[in-house]
Structure 1
Amino acid sequence: MTSAAASSPAAKLALAVVTEPERAVPAPVGAREDAMRSLLQTAADAGITRVATRPQGDQERLLGQAWPFPSPFAVSVRAVALSEGLDRVEARARRSLERMGLPRGDVLLVSGAGDLAGAEGRALWDRMLSLKDRGLYRRIGFLTTMEDGPVLLARRFQPDVVQIPCNILDQRPVTEGTLADLAGLGVEVHASSVFARGLLFANRETLPPGLSAYGVALSRTRRRLAEARTDPMQAALAFCLNLPPVAAVVASVASAAEMRAVLAAAHAPSPDLDWSTLALEEPAALTTGSQFAVSNAA
């Protein structure tokens, strides 16, 4: 990678393709494959080199049929939940690679840190290590939230990668030093939920009952962004892309058009904002809140 490419915001982005019906436009199978191919090519042309997947629906199959050749992407795979059984976790991790037509993956992630905290946590990690030792995955790690105590888990299991929600509404990973602590342990940190699970783009009228109390605060945040002449997507990406401990910013997109919108926002000048004024006072509910369907962003 050239120095110019390495300094591009796209080099820090990771693409999470969305295929859920509420986001993806319904289309015949052939058209869906063409749309996936266009999305991946748009990302590749922009210099994105990471793709994050999860084992649901036909996402992996579509990816496997649409990779650019040669593919520039390193792929991270989310394992199924431990509740499905250790054998199932291992078999599905192997199957994910087969469905995508890949001889090996870059990262395999435990689907939730709670799986590691339970009685079978060590056995699960040993299965992950075994897949790494056999060369099926280059690195292993886990998805976590602030409530999971990610730094303690990282000290215990010594993961290569940790993926954690972080955004302008929930800045706890920054303000509480979690990102810096993880990086200090030699962990590669990936930031997810950068658009606050769609809350940055939701209207007060569309908030579910459990999050309705955030309506006033969200309106205030959007007003401050408008006063700074910054749209929510641009602000969200600027905040995470400029965090030194973060190696990758996971942005979910459902189409090539959304990919272009994310890229344009990522390359926009970083806004001059007091980030602390944008955070919610009690953001913990965001980690379990409902996902919002939005038309222009993840």
Structure 2
Amino acid sequence: MKIGLGTVQFGMDYGVSNQTGKTNQAEVNLILNKALELGIRKLDTAYLYGDSESVLGQNQKELNGFDVITKTRKFGNTAFTKDDAKLIRESFLESLSRLKLNKVYGLMFHDSSDLLKENSGYLWDELVSLKSEDKVTKVGVSVYSLNQTEEILKKYPIEIIQFPLNIYDHSFLQNGFLSKLKEIDIEIHVRSVFLQGLALMSSTELPAYFKSVKNHIQECQEMLRSRGVTMLEASLNFIKSIKQVDFAILGINNISQLLEIIDSYHSGKNFEGIDYSKFAIFDESITNPSKWKLK
């Protein structure tokens, strides 16, 4: 099963369709235990996810059963110095302390643009040093655009990568890009599988900001409804159908969501003949949540 747990909701209020806010500590413990029971082993967090790392650190027994991936701090700099490399080390060691771990599976640059700035090698070399000290198994980057990713790959030997991919956003499927990543043995994690919950919202519930694609989304939903397939089932099947994807990082707010996702992931429904290319939306103001203007 190629599902990993996203934990931003454990540390802060997150997601356009999230009506319940930050997940409480007791619910986090239930989610982690159930995830382990179901065979889920990848867990994604970040230095900047509120107090997510600290919350996870309070569940030590469960946390030891996961491959934990965390991310670096972000920098506003246009160029880097050796002092910035010290900062990236210090913030990572703080992450380990919060998590109460001696080592993580993955450490990724949270802001991919940091790897394209002047003297970014200082930061990269620090991550490589942390790996050589056996504090990290794989080093990599969380990215947003295909062009930016290609530039980063020219500079650094990325081992693990995370990017958005969902039933509406197919930008990373262009030009056989995923196959190219696999040729150089990069582990692929995808996020935003439900587009912060947008992919699971009924067309009638969409905020006004999305009016330009309301008809498109309605047509997609009606097509699936006619086949007896839910948007959740289709969203998960879309990811399952892409063989190069190693793990889909899914944000979970509560235990019932986790169980619903697992049931839908293992749905025995017939998806044959669904042309997912017809779902694609080629408008970054819709597919990139950082560009949304909801208020």
Judge same fold: TM > 0.5, yes or no. Answer: yes
Structure 1: runs of 5 or more not aligned: 1-8, 293-298
* Greater mean deviation of Cα atoms: 199-208 or 274-283: 199-208
User: For the Cα contact (< 8 Å) 2:110–2:141, is it kept in 1?
Assistant: yes
Classify the secondary structure of the residue corresponding to 1:83: coil
Determine the C-alpha separation between the residues in 1 that align with 2:113 and 2:157.
16
Question: Are the aligned partners of 2:285 and 2:291 in contact in 1 as well (CA < 8 Å)?
Answer: no
Quote the Cα distance in structure 2 between the aligned partners of 1:238 and 1:291.
29
Could you give the per-residue CA deviations for residues 234-258 of structure 1, whole angstroms, max 9, x where no partner exists? 1111111221111111111111111
Among all aligned residue pairs of Structure 1 and Structure 2, give the percentage whose two residues are the same amino acid. Answer: 19
**266-275 vs 17-26, greater mean Cα deviation:** 17-26
**Equivalent residue pairs, number:** 278
Residue in structure 1 matched with residue 46 of structure 2 by the alignment: 54
Give the deviation of 1:201 after TM superposition: 2.4
CA deviation map 1:86-138 (0-9, x unaligned): 43322111111111111100000001221111113222211111111111111
The separation in 1 between residues aligned to 2:166 and 2:112, in whole angstroms, is 19
Once the two structures are overlaid, the 10-residue window that deviates more, 138-147 or 79-88, is 79-88
Aligned AA for 1:65?
Q
Three-state SS of the structure 2 residue aligned to 1:177 is helix
Retained in 2: the 8 A contact 1:198–1:291? no
- Give the structure 2 partner of residue 265 of structure 1: 264
1:197, CA displacement in angstroms?
Answer: 2.5
Match status 1:169 vs 2:168? yes
- Cα separation, partners in 2 of 1:250 and 1:43, compared to 1, 3 Å: same
- Check the 8 A contact 2:144/2:163 in 1, yes or no: yes
Gaps spanning 5+ residues in structure 2: where?
78-83
Name the CA distance, whole Å, in 2 between partners of 1:73 and 1:230.
32
Give the corresponding residue for 1:32. 24
Residue 80 of structure 2 is matched in structure 1 by none
Contact 1:13 1:50 in 2 (8 A): yes
Evaluate the alpha carbon distance shift between residue 267 and residue 169 of structure 1 in structure 2; reply closer, same or farther with a 3 A threshold.
Answer: same
CA 1:69–1:250: 2 relative to 1, 3 Å: closer
Partner Cα distance (1:184, 1:206) in 2:
39
| Aligned with residue 68 of structure 2, among 58, 75, 84 | 75
AA aligned to 2:57 is: G
Residue 277 of structure 1 corresponds to which residue in structure 2?
Answer: 278
3-state SS of paired residue (2:223): helix
> For residue 253 of structure 2, what is the aligned residue in structure 1?
254
RMSD: 2.4
CA distance in 2, matches of 1:96, 1:256: 25
Residues 36 and 205 (structure 1), Cα distance of their counterparts in 2 relative to 1, 3 Å cut: closer
> How does the TM-score come out when normalised to structure 1?
0.85
The alignment partner of 1:132 has SS state of helix
1:207 equivalenced with 2:223 (yes/no): no
Q: 2:6 — aligned with what?
A: 16
* Structural mapping, 1:120-199, within 5 Å: 120-199=119-198
1:218-267 CA distances to partner (integer Å, 9 max, x unpaired)? 22222222122111111111111221111111111111111111111111
Alpha carbons 2:56, 2:63 under 8 Å: kept: no
